[in-house]
């Protein structure tokens, strides 16, 4: 079983370990240092204060397992201003359906608690696992919105595919 919850100081170390894992970060430009990882948590916490929602901690079996949730994308995309759903989980929970169930719960919260109506998700063209989660939570492929991520010029994974769902 899993639950979504707010971040706490005890999450910093396991999150940093996860962000330093080459396999977890395979579809990102690089692994994160401890400082970068901690700064990411601080940004996530500030976005909760700003939006009321964000990337919640996924806790599984009483342990930090990663995050999933909703975020207002802060860079230009073909979708214009929008809310994205995203996730990043530790390898020990991969293949157990946690990403799908947690993302489904995040969408439910987005609709019921924050009156969101449209949510997007995007990933590199080769991230088949994330794309599979997008499909399992009912998202539809939007090839017309695929884009080169503006924050990753020259990186092999710069081209991103896009999915959408109306909730």
Convert the pLDDT of each residue in 7-30 to its tens digit: 999 999 999 999 999 999 999 999
Euclidean distance between CA atoms 26 and 30, whole angstroms: 8
Count of CB atoms situated within 10 Å of the CB of 28: 16
For each of the domains in the chain, give its residue range(s) and CATH number, in order of start.
2-166 (3.40.630.30)
Q: What is the dihedral sign for C-alpha 137, 84, 162, 11?
A: negative
- Position 141 scores a pLDDT of 98
Tokens of 131: 């794309």
Tokens of 165: 């769902």
Q: Which residues, in sequence order, are CB contacts of 159 under 8 Å at separation 6+?
A: 124, 125, 146, 147, 148, 149
What are the pLDDT digits (tens) for 143-161? 999 999 999 888 889 999 9
Euclidean distance between CA atoms 12 and 46, whole angstroms: 15
Q: State the residue for tokens 């503006």.
A: 150
- Position 84 scores a pLDDT of 98
**Does the structure show a pLDDT above 90 at 103?**
yes
Q: Which residues, in sequence order, are CB contacts of 62 under 8 Å at separation 6+?
A: none
Q: State the residue for tokens 């204060």.
A: 49
What are the pLDDT digits (tens) for 51-102? 999 999 999 999 999 999 999 999 999 999 999 999 999 999 999 999 999 9
Query: 81 near 59, Cβ under 8 Å?
Result: no
Closest by CA to 91, choosing from 26, 150, 166, 164, is 26
Euclidean distance between CA atoms 4 and 82, whole angstroms: 22
What are the pLDDT digits (tens) for 113-136? 999 999 999 999 999 999 999 999
């Amino acid at each position: 079983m899993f639950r979504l919850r707010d971040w706490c100081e005890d999450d910093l170390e396991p999150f940093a370990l996860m962000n330093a894992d080459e396999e977890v970060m395979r579809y990102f430009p690089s692994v994160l240092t401890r400082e970068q990882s901690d700064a990411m948590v601080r940004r996530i916490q500030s976005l909760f204060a700003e939006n009321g929602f964000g990337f919640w901690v996924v806790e599984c079996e009483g342990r930090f397992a990663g995050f999933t949730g909703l975020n207002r994308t802060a860079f230009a995309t073909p979708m214009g201003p929008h809310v994205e759903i995203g996730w990043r989980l530790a390898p020990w929970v991969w293949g157990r359906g946690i990403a799908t169930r947690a993302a489904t719960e995040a969408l439910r919260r987005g609709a019921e608690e924050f009156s969101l109506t449209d949510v997007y998700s995007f990933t590199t063209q080769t991230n088949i696992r994330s794309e599979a989660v997008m499909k399992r939570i009912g998202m539809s492929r939007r090839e017309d919105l695929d884009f080169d991520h503006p924050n990753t010029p020259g990186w092999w994974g710069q081209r991103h595919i896009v999915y959408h769902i109306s909730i």
